[in-house]
Structure 1
Amino acid sequence: MPLSHHDQVNLLKDILSNQQTDCCGSVAEYQQLERLIKSLMVNTNVDGNIKSILQDVYQYSQNGVNASDLEQHIQTNQGQLSQWVNDIGQFS
């Protein structure tokens, strides 16, 4: 059974929140973020306001996949992670 877009948004928020809190992540998590975002971007039921956030998170994910130091990548983006989690929470 596929995840609803609400479930996908909540999963996205959970991954970002965990990365922010734990200050660690994995390439697999970034790849999962990319898949979630691609699915949400084409879903017409997703609030248009969240799509600009999704584009930013997608860029963050791509940079994470290619980062040589994942912990540093997350630390560098702490402020953004916090903002994204809050913003996404308003739409989920």
Structure 2
Amino acid sequence: MSRRYTSEFKRDVVALALSSGKTVTEVARDLGVSPEGLRGWVKQAKIDRGEEPTGALATAERDELVRLRRKLREQEATIEVLGKATAFFARDKMR
């Protein structure tokens, strides 16, 4: 079963994993979180700090990308509606 964790919890767990000297699996087991999930959080934290290779999206960049894609979908839907309305009124005027 999937659980949602707060960003504060993730931040604290990542800090513990990086500073404890334990492996990610040990920290995850101690705290009752998924080792794969914790690995992902640690990797994303390193990307956000610029410690990972370039090409990976930081959290802020990923959030902006999601926002822009949503806006694009909304605008495409608007354009489609306007196109249909234009065709409707053009047909109506031709009569």
TM-score, normalised via structure 2 length? 0.34
Higher relative contact order (CA 8 A, sep 6+): 1
Question: Which structure's residues are more often helix, by fraction?
Answer: 1
TM-score, normalised via structure 1 length? 0.35
Larger Rg: 2
